[in-house]
């Protein structure tokens, strides 16, 4: 629950708060992967995720003088999550549900995965599974998606997820519950997901 | 409606436990609650099945690989340089646009009155001999203006439609007054004259917007670290944004945006609703933060709306001129 920030963070934060851009960029390098992944799962779109991540770090830089300590990762995650929710709201207002774009984007992206994975079919299957899971995430309302991404993908405790989302722990609890219930229903309709997952596990 | 309340299924202990299922799975229950739930599980096949499904979901999504960052997101000095936003809102509309918009509103109102007058003239002029003297005609028309002018609902309502802004009410009333005065005085140049008069208050607006664009960073500072207890602040913000009719970008990218959201919902829409109330907007940090996140889409919507406004204004102006011309001809023929 109580996230202990690495001591190094604090030194870098202090330096960055004094205007040291290099120190700030060390923090960027440290957190850009989890933040990018958060945005990727929230938005389901590679390009949008890149934009949101960059925007989040810019916002963080602007807001840095107001960072009052605590977990830097939670703080950055909160900025990025808000960025994503803004983007989702804009999409909804625009009426864009670019699921086709997303599929294309995700396919392109999967080619960039460093190929530690042994064989091509397995890689393809894993990519396909990832794509399917992203589609499943995309059916969730933004709030529930955020809760699931934070808890199940980014492995936040409820308390930390609550602080990131700016809601109470009870709300996180209910969002996780409702989100998983929807995903359970989705998986019941798509048993091949579970099957594919089992095959990969073997 | 009490019947609905009664028809809801009662919250059973089972239902309450069901909701704890995911918290149990995530190890987020208190020790006694966890014991209770474990006890319930052993006797409830449905909950046990649901739990294993939930576990499958959790593990499945945990397998989503963490993707490497596709590039460095390092912040450069160039990115930090304050870039003047190319947004329509930040780049204040030209004074000509403001004048046109005012002229459109005034012309629309004037057109209604003038048309009403024309109808009166035509109906009244049916007898022909009765309308022999132009003086009676003028006075009867003027009387009609006064009557219609007495119901400001027509005038300001029209103006609202044209300007899409509720806080324009004051100015709308002004416009109505002006309009009801103008046609009685001198017919054809009524539209343009009132347009010029209208332009003066509008001119203040772009300046206000310009100055509003600059203090972008500093006045977002209100946020403390206090986590809000409002359960769904963002939903409230949603509602607020919807009410503002797409005018406002939602509370922005700052970490405190969630704290700000409830306030924004109360404060945002009226502020955003009245661009004429730019003085007020200038004082409010919220709007500035929102401006930062304006995206291209809402800009294009804004642009389309402006074109529509201008088109509407032009139509109204043409209608006014035509009506006035017709009126004059009617006047010229009858005597």
DSSP-derived secondary structure for B195-217: HHHHHHHHHHHHHHHHHHHS-TT
Of B19, B238, B255, the CB nearest to A89: B238
Looking at the fold, whether B38 and B91 belong to one and the same domain comes out as no
| Sequence-distant (≥ 6) Cβ neighbours of residue B333 within 8 angstroms | none
Contact B108, B318 (CB under 8 A): no
The string of pLDDT tens digits covering residues A87-107 is 999 988 887 554 444 433 433
Span A180-202, average pLDDT: 80
* Chain A partners within 8 Å of B53 (Cβ): 184, 187-188
Third-level CATH fold of A7-201: Rna Polymerase Sigma Factor; Chain: A (1.10.1740)
Which residues of chain B carry a pLDDT beneath 70?
Answer: 1-15, 82-95, 118, 121-299, 333-335
pLDDT score of B161: 38
B296 found inside a domain: yes
pLDDT score of B188: 38
Query: Count of CB atoms within 10 A of residue A141's CB?
Result: 15
Interface test with B, best of A42, A47, A63, A127 (most B CBs within 10 A): A63
Res A55 pLDDT > 80:
yes
* Chain A partners within 8 Å of B34 (Cβ): none
Measured CA to CA in angstroms, residue A144 lies from B29, B167, B228 at distances of: 19, 36, 18
Of A36, A166, A193, the CB nearest to B227: A166
pLDDT score of A44: 92
Looking at the fold, whether B37 and B100 belong to one and the same domain comes out as no
Res A67 pLDDT > 60:
yes
Res A11 pLDDT > 60:
yes
Looking at the fold, whether B140 and B45 belong to one and the same domain comes out as no
Looking at the fold, whether B165 and B211 belong to one and the same domain comes out as yes
Contact A129 B63 (CB under 8 A): yes
Structure confidence at residue A159 as a pLDDT band (50, 70, 90): very high
Res A172 pLDDT > 90:
yes
Contact B303, B295 (CB under 8 A): no
Token look-up 């972008």 returns B216
Of B28, B57, B295, the CB nearest to A187: B57
pLDDT score of B88: 53
Cα separation, B24 vs B17, in Å, equals 10
CA–CA min distance A75, chain B (Å): 7
B210 found inside a domain: yes
Instruction: Identify the residue with better confidence: A22 or B309.
Output: A22
B96 found inside a domain: yes
Count the domains in chain B: 2
Domain, as residue range, for B27: 13-50
* Chain A partners within 8 Å of B295 (Cβ): 90
Domain end marker among B50, B68, B95: B50
Token look-up 């004082």 returns B283
pLDDT score of B171: 38
pLDDT score of A126: 78
Radius of gyration from C-alpha coordinates of chain A? 18
pLDDT score of B103: 74
Cα distance between the two ends of chain B: 68
CA–CA min distance B288, chain A (Å): 14
A27: nearest CA in chain B?
B74
The string of pLDDT tens digits covering residues A114-144 is 445 456 777 777 788 888 899 999 999 999 9
B72 found inside a domain: no
CA–CA min distance A110, chain B (Å): 9
Res A13 pLDDT > 50:
yes
Give chain A's mean pLDDT.
83
Q: Under DSSP, is residue A11 helix (H, G, I), strand (E, B) or coil?
A: helix
For chain A, domain boundaries: 7-201
Of A93, A174, A180, the CB nearest to B57: A180
B57 found inside a domain: no
B206 found inside a domain: yes
* Chain A partners within 8 Å of B251 (Cβ): 86
B267 found inside a domain: yes
CA–CA min distance A120, chain B (Å): 16
pLDDT score of A72: 93
B305 found inside a domain: yes
């Amino acid at each position: 629950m109580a996230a202990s920030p690495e001591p190094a963070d604090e030194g870098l934060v202090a330096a960055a708060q004094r205007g040291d851009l290099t120190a700030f960029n060390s923090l960027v390098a440290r957190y850009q992967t989890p933040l990018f992944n958060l945005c990727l799962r929230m938005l389901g779109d590679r390009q949008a995720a890149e934009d949101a991540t960059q925007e989040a770090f810019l916002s963080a830089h602007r807001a840095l003088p107001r960072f009052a300590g605590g977990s830097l990762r939670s703080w950055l995650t909160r900025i990025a999550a808000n960025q994503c929710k803004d983007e989702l709201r804009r999409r909804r207002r625009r009426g864009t549900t670019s699921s086709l774009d997303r599929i294309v984007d995700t396919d392109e992206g999967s080619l960039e995965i460093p190929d530690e994975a042994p064989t091509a079919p397995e890689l393809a299957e894993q990519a396909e599974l990832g794509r399917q899971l992203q589609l499943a995430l995309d059916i969730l309302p933004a709030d529930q998606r955020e809760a699931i991404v934070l808890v199940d993908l980014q492995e936040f405790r409820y308390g930390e997820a609550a602080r990131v989302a700016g809601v109470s722990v009870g709300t996180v609890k209910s969002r996780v519950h409702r989100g998983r219930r929807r995903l359970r229903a989705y998986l019941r309709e798509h048993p091949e997901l579970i099957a594919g997952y089992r095959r990969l596990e073997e | 409606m009490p019947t609905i309340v009664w028809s809801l299924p009662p919250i059973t202990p089972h239902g309450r436990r069901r909701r704890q299922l995911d918290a149990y799975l995530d190890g987020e229950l208190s020790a006694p609650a966890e014991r209770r739930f474990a006890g319930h599980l052993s006797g409830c096949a449905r909950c046990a099945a649901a739990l294993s499904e939930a576990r499958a979901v959790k593990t499945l999504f945990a397998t989503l690989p963490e993707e490497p960052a596709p590039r460095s997101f390092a912040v450069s000095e160039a990115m930090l340089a304050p870039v003047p936003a190319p947004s329509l809102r930040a780049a204040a509309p030209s004074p000509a646009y403001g004048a046109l918009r005012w002229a459109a509103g005034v012309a629309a109102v004037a057109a209604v009155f003038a048309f009403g007058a024309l109808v009166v003239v035509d109906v009244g002029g049916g007898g022909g001999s009765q309308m022999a003297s132009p003086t009676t005609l003028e006075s009867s028309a003027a009387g009609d203006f006064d009557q219609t002018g007495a119901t400001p609902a027509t005038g300001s309502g029209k103006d609202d439609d044209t300007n899409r802004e509720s806080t324009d009410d004051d100015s709308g009333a002004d416009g109505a007054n002006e309009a009801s005065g103008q046609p009685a005085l001198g017919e054809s140049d009524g539209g343009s004259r009132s347009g010029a008069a209208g332009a003066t208050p509008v001119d203040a607006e772009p300046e206000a917007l310009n100055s509003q664009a600059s203090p972008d960073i500093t006045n977002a500072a209100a946020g403390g670290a206090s986590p809000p207890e409002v359960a769904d602040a963002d939903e409230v913000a949603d509602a607020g944004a919807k009410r503002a009719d797409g005018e406002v970008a939602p509370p922005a990218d700052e970490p405190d945006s969630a704290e700000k959201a409830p306030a924004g919902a109360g404060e945002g829409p009226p502020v955003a609703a009245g661009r004429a109330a730019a003085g007020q907007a200038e004082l409010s940090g919220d709007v500035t933060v929102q401006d930062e996140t304006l995206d291209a889409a809402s800009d294009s919507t804004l642009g389309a709306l402006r074109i529509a406004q201008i088109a509407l204004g032009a139509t109204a102006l043409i209608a006014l001129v035509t009506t006035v011309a017709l009126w004059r001809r009617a006047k010229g023929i009858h005597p």
